[in-house]
Each structure stands twice: as C-alpha cells, then as structure tokens.
Amino acid sequence: MKKSIVFAFIILFITVGWLASGQLGQVNANDKKITEDKTDTNLKVQVQNNEENSNIIKVETLIFNAEQIDQSIVIQGQTIYNKKIDVKSETTGNITNINFDRGDKVQANKNLLKISIENRKEILLSVQKDIERLNKELIINEKNRENLLSKNAELIKLYEIEYLSAKQLIDKGLSSKSKLSLASFNLANAKSDQIDINLKYESRLANLESQIASYKSQLKQINLDIENTLVSAPFDGIITNKKIEVSDYVTPGNILLTIVNLNPIKVQGYLSEFDVNKVQLFTKATIENSNGIKKNGKITFISPSAETSTRTFEIEIEADNSDLSFKSGITTSIMIEGSELLAHKIPPSILTLQDDGTIGVKALDEKNTVIFYPIQKVKDTIDGMWVSGLPKNINLIISGQEYVSSGQIIEFK
C-alpha cells in the first residue's frame, strides 16, 4: 500500500514537471520574437531618418585665435675655416731649422723654419759693389761733360772773335774772304762739338742708368731670396700638416706646411626659396654645435643664385671663435632671428583651393555666411601649420568646407 502511494506521487511529479517545461519554452519563444520585431522597427526608423537627411549639408566649425609667433628660421649647417693656406717654399736650399710641430697654435709673422742661405750674401755684396761702381761712373760722366762743355765754350768765344775780326777787315778791304770763311767754319764746328758732347753724355748716362736699374733689380731679388730662407706664419692659426724635416732639400713650389685659421668661425647653410627673402646681410644668427655650445654671429654672405639641384640658396655666417671651441667641418644648428608676427595655427586638411589657384580657408561670419580667406604660409610644424592673413579671431570650417561656397548662408537646426 505504501509503495503504491510512493509510485503514484512520483508519476504525478514527473507529469507536472513535463507540463511546466512546455509552457516555459513557449513563453521564451514569444519573448524572442517580440525582441526581434523591435530591432527590425529600430532599423527601419534609422534608415528612414537617414533617407530624410540625405540632402542636408553638414559642416563643423571651430574658433581659432591669432598668436604672436617668432619667425626665426632654423636650419642645419656646417662649420668651415676662416682661412687655410699651404705654405710653399719660394727659394731653393736645405731645411736647417724647424720651430714648430703639427697642431701648434702660431701667431702671424712667427718664424717657423729656416732654409740654408747658401752663397746669397756673397752675391748680394757683389751686386752692391757693382751699383757703387756705376754710381761713381755717373759722377765721372757728369764731370767730363762739364769739362768738355767748358773748353768748347772757350773755343766758341775765340772763334766768334776771329770771325768778327775777319769781317771787319774785309769791310775795310784789308783781308780776303777766305779768312772770313775759315773763321765761320771753325765757329760752326765748335758749336757742333757742343751738341756732340751733350749727345755722348746722354748716351753714356742712359747706359749707366740701365745697368744700375738692372743691378738694383738683382739686388732686390737677392734680398727677397734671402728673406725667403726664413719662413713665417702668414696669419694666426693652427698648423694642421707638416711636410718637411730638417735637412730636406726644397725648391720653389714645394709645400712645407698647412695653416688653418678658425677665428672667426664660418658656418655654411642653405635657405629655401620661401625663406631666402626673409633675411639680409648682417642679420643676427645663433649657431649651436653638437656639444650644446652656442655663439652669436651674423650673416655675411647670401648667394644671389640657387643651387641647381636643390633650389636652395647658400648663406654664410661668421661668429667669434677666439676660444676655438668650434672646429671646422662639424654639423651646426643655425637659428636666424626673425620678427614677430600675428598668425593662426591650423590643420592643413582645412585648406581649400579656388578656381583661380588661390589657396585659403573658409569661415563663417557672425551671420553664418561662408567667407573665403586667402592665406600665406608662415611655417610648418609637426602638428599643423602657421598662416597669416586672417582676422584675429575667426570661426573656421574644419569639416565639410568642400561642399559650401562663398556667400552661402549656413542654417543651424
């Protein structure tokens, strides 16, 4: 009896559970269908709304304020020496003394080395004596001329007296014409001799002066040759190369050493076509090397023509380098001073191009009318570009500017 009751309850429990599970499945199925119907309704509404708004032009604007910016130009350059020279021998001989080592700092006119003087002093004395001799001959030639002219003058006086006497006697009929002719002939010869004396003197004088000039030229050359046996530094600098040793034989043209001058230091850089007209000679500039050392300088050269391959213009900057902290051939940052300017920083993506090729931006005025403003680029940065030519505060269209035109009124809903 008890077992029958237990089985009956078990069967009843199973039956009720089965009926309950069927009802629950039906409820879940109904809920899923309702949810799907709602989703379809939302999609249809969204599509319908999109279709209704398909003809509306949407623009996005943002207010930009002008700022004072520094128009300084920053470029990369390279240092170069102020002066460099290969000191060459100007005479012949052996190196007898060297007063420097490679890397030494030297001052202008410091004696660096000596070349053997050979027989130059003997040649010098010989030429000096020849000049003295010729100068004495000049004096003798002058005295001979004076003596000859003095004697000739006496003869002329004598022949003039004879001529006058002969003429008076002829006038009185006391003498023949032959004596008058002889006296006239002698007087003419005496006057002719005076001319010959002067001509001979001038010829001899010219010959002596020519010889003296030649010897003086030799004297100058030998003195210069003697001076060239002592080689000095042409300017302050650093000796970078040493090409000779003691006892080496050198001839004119042989390189002896190299001197480089680094003060002032020069920095060579290149400006773009856009920047070249922003600078001028003596514009101030700051240079900085890789070690962070800065110096103030100024522009001393601007190339009048661009490099063919790069379309850039070479500039040269000079700066004091008395401490020699800047070496030649190092990369250097150059900052060229510029004036301050009111400009706006904008994203390049908002630029538009007019039919005539003018580049600018579109903005909205206080009446929401589209206005086109041409702009001028000032400089580029990593996160935008600086431009000028805009009002101090401006409401720029940053999205949708391609779909609106100047004069169009934008309505906001």
Query: 371 is written with which tokens?
Result: 């206005």
- Which helix (H) or strand (E) segment is 22 a member of? helix 2-52
Measured between alpha carbons, how far is residue 355 from residues 235, 376, 377 in Å? Answer: 62, 17, 19
Task: Write down the pLDDT at residue 53.
Answer: 45
Its CATH architecture, for the domain 60-69+341-403, is Beta Barrel (2.40)
Residue 387 phi/psi, 5° resolution?
-130, 155
Q: State how far the Cα of 372 lies from the Cα of 407, in Å rounded to an integer.
A: 9
Query: 308 is written with which tokens?
Result: 């063919």
Query: 152 is written with which tokens?
Result: 């000739």
The span from the first CA to the last CA of the chain, in angstroms, equals 84
Domain boundaries, the chain: 1-48, 60-69+341-403, 120-227
Task: Write down the pLDDT at residue 54.
Answer: 44
Query: 144 is written with which tokens?
Result: 């001979």
Task: Write down the pLDDT at residue 224.
Answer: 93
Beta-sheet pairing, 93-98 with 83-88: unpaired
- Which helix (H) or strand (E) segment is 361 a member of? strand 359-364
Q: State how far the Cα of 373 lies from the Cα of 389, in Å rounded to an integer.
A: 8
Task: Write down the pLDDT at residue 24.
Answer: 37
Sign of CA dihedral 158, 159, 165, 169: positive
Adjacency order of strands within the sheet including 111-115: 230-232, 111-115, 93-98, 249-250
Task: Write down the pLDDT at residue 190.
Answer: 77
Sign of CA dihedral 208, 211, 213, 215: negative
Query: 185 is written with which tokens?
Result: 């002939």
Using a 10 angstrom Cβ sphere, with 0-12 exposed, 13-18 middle and 19 or more buried, the burial of residue 78 is middle
Q: What is the DSSP letter of 409?
A: B
Task: Write down the pLDDT at residue 402.
Answer: 87
- The predicted-structure confidence for 300-320, as pLDDT tens digits, reads as follows 999 999 998 889 999 999 999
Q: State how far the Cα of 289 lies from the Cα of 325, in Å rounded to an integer.
A: 9
Q: What per-residue string of b and e applies to 258-288 under the rule 16 or more CB within 10 Å gives b?
A: bbbbbbbbbbebbbeeebbeebeeebebbbe
In the beta sheet, which residues pair with residue 384? 381
Q: Taking each helix axis from N to C terminus, what angle separates 177-227 and 120-172, rounded to the nearest 10 degrees? A: 170
Task: For residue 58, give the 3-state DSSP assignment.
Answer: coil
For residues 186 and 162, is the Cβ–Cβ distance under 8 A? yes
Tell which residue, 353, 344, 348, has the closest CA to residue 374: 353
For residues 346 and 387, is the Cβ–Cβ distance under 8 A? yes
Tell which residue, 207, 226, 206, has the closest CA to residue 127: 226
Task: Write down the pLDDT at residue 269.
Answer: 94
Residue whose token pair is 């030494």: 104
Written as tens digits, the pLDDT of the chain (413 aa) is: 444 554 555 555 555 454 444 443 443 444 433 333 333 333 333 333 333 444 567 788 899 999 888 778 889 999 999 999 999 999 999 999 999 999 999 999 999 999 999 899 999 999 999 999 999 988 888 888 888 878 888 787 887 777 777 777 776 666 666 776 777 777 787 788 788 888 888 888 899 889 999 999 999 999 999 999 999 999 999 999 999 999 999 999 999 999 999 999 999 999 988 888 888 899 999 999 988 899 999 999 999 999 988 899 999 999 999 999 999 999 999 999 876 788 999 999 999 988 888 999 999 998 889 999 999 888 888 888 889 889 999 999 998 888 888 888 887 65
Beta-sheet pairing, 384-388 with 230-232: unpaired
Task: Write down the pLDDT at residue 367.
Answer: 87
Task: Write down the pLDDT at residue 141.
Answer: 85
